[in-house]
Amino acid sequence: MRTRTFDIGKDSRPVGFVGWATFINKDPENEFTNWLDTLRRFGEYTNLGGNRTSGYGSMEYIQYKKPSTIENAPDSPAPSEIS
């Protein structure tokens, strides 16, 4: 992330940031997981922070899904069942 000032035609120049932020939910079975997911998705429509009507605070929610493997895929046979 890096900070950046923006010229809005006034004496003061607001400061924002440009970059990526990654948030990891280490306990996806937590009772708050659904709420957090809803708020992250809602943030794409409402944006974050101040000066949102000027285009500040835009975000994109990208959900990471860990690729499944033979060992942890729910419908794959156990290793002893593979011939």
Tokens of 82: 């593979």
pLDDT at 80 over 70: no
Q: How far apart are CA 65 and CA 76, in angstroms?
A: 18
Q: Higher-confidence residue: 81 or 19? A: 19
Per residue in 11-44, pLDDT (tens digit) is 888 787 788 878 788 888 888 888 988 888 888 8
pLDDT at 83 over 50: no
The amino acid present at 55, given as its one-letter code, is G
pLDDT at 79 over 70: no
Instruction: Give start and end residues of each alpha helix (H) in 1-83.
Output: 33-46
Q: How far apart are CA 79 and CA 68, in angstroms?
A: 15
Q: Taking residues 55-81, what's their average pLDDT?
A: 65
Q: What is the pTM of this model?
A: 0.53
User: Could you tell me the residue ranges of all domains in the chain?
Assistant: 2-81
Tokens of 67: 């690729």
